[in-house]
């Protein structure tokens, strides 16, 4: 193990990438991809060290990269986003290209296994969370946070695969009573990420980030169901000469949340300094409102699940792929990600540029 940004972390290093996972909370970051001619490291580290905030939930003091949430959001008894995002994980096995961790949780009773693997020649993290010994309806999700704070205003291009329903958080995501600020209109629905209603009138373009400085906002998009030609859903962020993207099975993760954290929180530990961060979170949840609201099935009329039924004697495997690839300077935003073959992807830019990426997308199924 190594101490990374003040926190003891498990390590896996291959020719393609170096990855680090905190023992507390199982937060994945940094991930340093060794691309041709350059290294890139897209995941965020909080602008504070964990030791500065010993009394906060580890979720906040450790905050970085990607972590698994069960339940997703708050819960009546237990830490925010569940014990798995806060307490200690234990090493089960480390192989040359795989890190296997686990945690036995008391808040839900679940055994959660985290298996991170890397394939030769693939600049991707194949992530699997195995859930067992869990009974009842629960929300859950992956919570990757990207750091775009070093980019000019609106320089990153953010897109997702087609969605069938979308809304700004249904109540204040940033509480004005605490001096917090948000830009988007509470509960506003939208059909295009480029035209999302603002609280003060007009619309804003969520496909360009960082933007709306001094605000914290949350939106949720529900992915179209999979088809033969589009067997997975995707999210993508084009940064400085490369694209970070995430793939999922929409049956496992029906929705994508964007947490746009750009200095809208004045209280500790935020202090208006959590800037240019973008959470691209794949979830089965009712926004980030917590377990109780997710169990109310508030979007049932639209056919949108916000929790999943788990059976104690059945193991559930939840898989995502998070990867990077180089792009040219004229690539623009990602318009499509589709299979190119059984073991590769075609990523198509808004201006027609295409790149072929080696990737085992069938891992998701």
Residue 122 near residue 106 (C-beta atoms within 8 A): no
DSSP state of 176: G
Three-state DSSP at 262 gives strand
What sign does the dihedral 278-220-72-273 (CA atoms) show?
Answer: positive
Q: Which domain holds residue 100?
A: 2-364
How many structural domains compose the chain? 1
CATH number of the domain that 316 lies in?
2.70.98.10
Answering whether pTM is above 0.85, one says yes
Residue 236 near residue 202 (C-beta atoms within 8 A): no
CB count, 10 Å around CB of 50?
22
Phi and psi at residue 62, to the nearest 5° = -85, -20
Torsion, Cα 92 93 98 99, to 10 degrees, reads: 40
Place of tokens 């237990």: 78
Could you list the pLDDT tens digit for every one of the 365 residues in the chain?
Answer: 999 999 999 999 999 999 999 999 999 999 999 999 999 999 999 999 999 999 999 999 999 999 999 999 999 889 999 999 999 999 999 999 999 999 999 999 999 999 999 999 999 999 999 999 999 999 999 999 999 999 999 999 999 999 999 999 999 999 999 999 999 999 999 999 999 999 999 999 999 999 999 999 999 999 999 999 999 999 999 999 999 999 999 999 999 999 999 999 999 999 999 999 999 999 999 999 999 999 999 999 999 999 999 999 999 999 999 999 999 989 999 999 999 999 999 999 999 999 999 999 999 99
Q: Decide: residue 215, CB within 10 A, 0-12 exposed, 13-18 middle, 19+ buried.
A: buried
- Residue count of the chain: 365
């Amino acid at each position: 193990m190594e101490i990374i940004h003040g926190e003891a972390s498990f390590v896996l290093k291959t020719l393609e990438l170096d990855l680090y996972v905190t023992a507390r909370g199982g937060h994945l970051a940094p991930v340093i991809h060794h691309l041709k001619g350059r290294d890139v490291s897209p995941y965020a580290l909080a602008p504070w060290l964990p030791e500065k905030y010993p009394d906060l939930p580890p979720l906040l003091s450790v905050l970085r990269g990607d972590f698994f949430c069960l339940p997703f959001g708050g819960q009546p008894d237990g830490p925010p986003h569940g014990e798995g995002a806060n307490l200690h994980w234990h090493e089960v096995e480390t192989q040359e290209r795989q890190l296997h961790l686990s945690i036995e949780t008391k808040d839900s009773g679940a055994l959660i296994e985290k298996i991170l693997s890397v394939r030769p020649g693939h600049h991707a993290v194949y992530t699997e969370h195995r859930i067992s010994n869990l009974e009842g309806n629960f929300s859950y999700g992956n919570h990757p946070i990207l750091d775009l704070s070093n980019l000019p205003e609106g320089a990153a291009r953010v897109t997702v695969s087609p969605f069938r329903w979308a809304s700004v958080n249904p109540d204040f995501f940033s509480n004005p009573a605490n001096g917090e600020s948000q830009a988007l209109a509470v509960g506003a629905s939208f059909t295009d990420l480029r035209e999302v209603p603002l609280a003060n009138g007009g619309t804003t373009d969520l496909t360009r980030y960082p933007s709306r400085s001094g605000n914290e906002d949350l939106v949720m998009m529900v992915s179209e169901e999979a088809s033969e030609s589009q067997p997975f859903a995707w999210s993508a962020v084009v940064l400085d000469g490369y694209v970070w993207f995430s793939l999922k099975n929409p049956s496992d993760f029906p929705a994508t949340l964007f947490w746009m954290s750009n200095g809208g929180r004045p209280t500790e530990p935020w202090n208006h300094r959590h800037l240019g961060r973008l959470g691209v979170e794949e979830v089965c949840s009712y926004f980030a409102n917590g377990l109780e609201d997710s169990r109310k099935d508030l979007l049932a009329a639209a056919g949108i699940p916000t929790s999943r039924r788990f059976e104690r004697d059945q193991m559930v495997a939840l898989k995502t792929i998070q990867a990077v690839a180089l792009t040219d300077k004229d690539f623009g935003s990602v318009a499509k990600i589709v299979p190119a073959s059984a073991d590769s992807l075609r990523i198509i830019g808004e201006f027609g540029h295409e790149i072929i990426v080696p990737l085992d997308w069938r891992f998701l199924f």
